[in-house]
Structure 1
Amino acid sequence: MEHLKLKLALFLALLFLFTSCSSTKTALYDQYSYQKTAEIKVEAEKLMSEATSPYALHQKEVTMLLLEIEKLVEYEKNKPNNEITFAMWKMLTNKEKNLLAAFFKRWETKETLSPAFLEESKKQVLDAFDLLIQYEIKKDKESKDALLDLINQ
């Protein structure tokens, strides 16, 4: 009888653990996502800093960075319970939003950008990357809410 009670208690504990973990609907920490996001942030910052010079001089670098981002977006899209991170990457790559892809589109259109515009844009883009990185590291309510606030603006 004690053996049956122990098995039942273990089963209930496992059932509770399974249901509580699956109900969070948040992808677990992913070292690859963290590392690639940090690398892309550094590359984006470096490339954005060049926007006071002609776009044509950096077109190949922009294309390569956007390709790296496209690969990561595809990776993020296919991870289970990863809707928030995927939505943020879609926002960063949307040419109509005021983040990374829109910055590169504007740079291409204008050929060069003013230092004031560059600094403000870099701040917005890098802040977005920081939120994404913090969410990947922590996966807590605070970092999730901060990311959702930006996505829903």
Structure 2
Amino acid sequence: MKKSKLPFLLILITGFLFSCSVLKTAPYDQYSFQKAVEIKIDASHLIEKAENPYQENIIDIQKLKNKIAKIVEYEKYKPNNEITYKMWLLLADENKNLLAGFLKRWEEKNTLSSFFITEAKGQITEAFDLLIQYEGKKDPAVKNQLLELISKN
């Protein structure tokens, strides 16, 4: 009787361990959460200034770009952190329509219309909100929304 249960038990344990390794997600990280909130707020305030010439805000823009570069590098080396890392890469990509893309467009145009600013701010804020929710809860529903956003871009 014991012999017949042993293979079943080994298969069950192996299956459990394999499923756990496939579904690994980086654990909650206070620093990542805090930086995401901080950068969202900084970005939001900066976006509101885009009706003014780019050069008037160059110092704040560079500070924000530096913060983004630092968090991208930080997230890159955390284990089981592919989703958060890809999201930060998306936010930092000047060729996409999120934060870095907004800053690039502002630089090219020098000033942006209030309508464009409002629309872009909504999209950028929504992306940050998803990232912050995911960092705070590691919720599968939010994870799926992030993956959908990443795959669209």
Report deviation, 1:142. 0.1
**Where in structure 2 are the equivalents of 1:75-90 lying within 5 Å?**
75-90=74-89
1:141 aligned partner: 140
Question: 1:53 aligns to what?
Answer: 52
What is the CA deviation profile of residues 66-106 of structure 1, one whole-angstrom value per residue up to 9, with x for unaligned ones? 00110010000000000000000000011110000010000
Q: Please state whether the residue corresponding to 1:25 is helix, strand or coil.
A: coil
Query: Percent of counterpart pairs with the same letter?
Result: 53
Superposed CA RMSD: 2.0
Alignment-derived partner of residue 114 in structure 1: 113
Corresponding letter in the other structure for 1:99:
L
Task: Quote the Cα distance in structure 2 between the aligned partners of 1:151 and 1:107.
Answer: 23
Aligned equivalents of 1:125, 1:147: Cα separation in 2: 13
Q: Which runs of 5+ in 1 are unaligned?
A: 1-13
Stretches of structure 2 that go unaligned for 5 or more consecutive residues are 1-12
Structure 2 match to 1:129: 128
- Number of aligned positions between the proteins: 144
Question: Aligned partners of 2:107 and 2:18: how far apart in 1?
Answer: 49
Partners of 2:136 and 2:16 in 1: CA distance: 22
Deviation at 1:23, TM superposition (A): 3.2
Q: CA deviation at 1:130?
A: 0.2
2:37 paired residue number: 38
Work out the CA distance in 2 between the residues paired with 1:34 and 1:103: 23
Displacement, 1:22? Answer: 3.1
CA distance in 2, matches of 1:21, 1:34: 24
State the match for 1:93 in structure 2: 92
Instruction: Quote the Cα distance in structure 2 between the aligned partners of 1:21 and 1:28.
Output: 13
Q: Shift of the alpha carbon at 1:20?
A: 5.3
Give the structure-1-normalised TM-score: 0.87
